[in-house]
Chains A and B, each alone.
Chain A
């Protein structure tokens, strides 16, 4: 009880502190957006359930790392242009594009495009400030790391963990709709980078990774169902449902095998021989690439 009471005091204090440094010009809209969401189905979903769904979604760092492993060259044209950030005025656009920029940041960092990524940090910080979550980005630390390419692993860790902590914080603050939009934006951008890279560098590995998103999409559909009565999410739900219909034509089957377990240097190592096999027609694959681009390009517009 005492802990709960202090927790409430802490939340109240932190809300006061953080709301005073947000600097947003869209406070009224944020309140409207929050109330729109909270009057709907969201309130019925326990925060811990939402948190579990959000945690199950693929991490942008994993998606961008896979692109890097495919030996594809970095393509600046795939990024959401940095200057777009000032055009985003609604909380919806800010949150979705914060996720998009977050994935772009991971893409730039993994290719060690540190000077370019530095220019995007301002955009990220600005959108995060407007959404009152700017305090998760320590620009001094990130800036120092960007200037030293030897720190790329640490930079990746700090950027990823900042987004991770931000999502947990938003959920704790009953603002899971914002973290949902950030994660959805990040996922769509990851899928966009996958598909566009696969167009230029067609490899089986990238194709498989694109098809595997069918599994993540099941969780995304569960997440979106939370907001199905909310007008703000309507267009996004329609768009992602279009992708879902294409993914329904992807088949993932399994050849069973047995896991082998051993201890190596204090680490439990599991080697599984179960295999997954993915099937997709060329027609579905090409439609998927086109559809993802249409949806993503719509999201980065004003």
Chain B
């Protein structure tokens, strides 16, 4: 293969790579972390959906007397569909969702005042099961 063929191949493939790279870049994380305000950054959960994997689930232990925040940021290069995050308790009972049905609105920040230590499940997917990428940042602070 001649050198220009390599360059051409890389140039053609770059847009495909940048779709996922957008959500995995430091800039994307740094931007999203602004949403957690006065909460302490704990960790980031990556969300990458495709035709095969339309939904992802993570778990985390939340402690009593602490407030948690889930900051939700979705990539924009592939789709404009919203990233929906559902929070479940240790018995996998839905606590709430970033899609607030009564007002038919999506929120970017979900705060949870925890009074029961336990495993909590964080489920994430895009509207209409769209293929896209995003991140969920978990932050925490002590309850006042």
Contact = CB atoms under 8 A, between A and B. Distances in A.
Contacts of B89: 274
Nearest to B91: A254
B40 A215 contact: no
A190 B108 CA distance: 31
B47 to A, nearest CB: 12
A55 B137 CA distance: 12
Interface stretch (A97-105, A174-182, A236-244, A265-273): A265-273
Given A269-B113, A270-B110, A3 B61 contact: no
Contacts of B46: 168
Given A6-B16, A164-B44, A266-B107, A271 B64 contact: no
Given A215-B119, A270-B111, A274-B116, A161 B17 contact: no
A12 interface: no
Interface string B103-144: 101011111111111110000000000000000000010100
B70 to A, nearest CB: 9
B13 A212 contact: no
Contacts of B113: 269-272
Interface of chain B, helix or strand or loop or mixed? Answer: strand
Contact of B59 (A52, A153, A263): A52
Interface in B56-92: 57-61, 63-65, 69, 87, 89
A65 B61 contact: no
27 contacts: A5-B13, A6-B10, A6-B13, A52-B59, A55-B58, A58-B61, A61-B41, A62-B42, A66-B142, A156-B40, A157-B33, A164-B44, A205-B65, A208-B63, A212-B61, A215-B119, A216-B61, A261-B96, A263-B107, A266-B109, A268-B111, A270-B87, A270-B110, A274-B115, A274-B116, A276-B115, A276-B117
A82 interface: no
Interface of B: 10, 12-13, 16-17, 29, 33, 40-46, 57-61, 63-65, 69, 87, 89, 95-96, 98, 100, 103, 105, 107-119, 140, 142
Contacts, number: 130
Contacts of B41: 61, 156-157, 160-161
B115 A272 contact: yes
A276 B66 CA distance: 13
Nearest to B103: A263
A59 B68 CA distance: 13
A86 B113 CA distance: 44
Interface centre among B61, B98, B107, B114 (most CB of A within 10 A): B61
A205 to B, nearest CB: 7
A252 B96 CA distance: 24
Interface in A54-90: 55-56, 58-59, 61-62, 65-66, 69
A275 interface: yes
A84 B124 CA distance: 42
Given A270-B96, A274-B89, A276-B116, A56 B44 contact: no
Contacts of B100: 261, 263, 268
A160 B96 CA distance: 28
Contact of B116 (A52, A268, A275): A275
A61 B60 contact: no
A6 to B, nearest CB: 5
Contacts of A44: none
Contacts of B87: 270
A137 B21 CA distance: 20
Contact of A272 (B17, B45, B63, B95): B95
B18 to A, nearest CB: 11
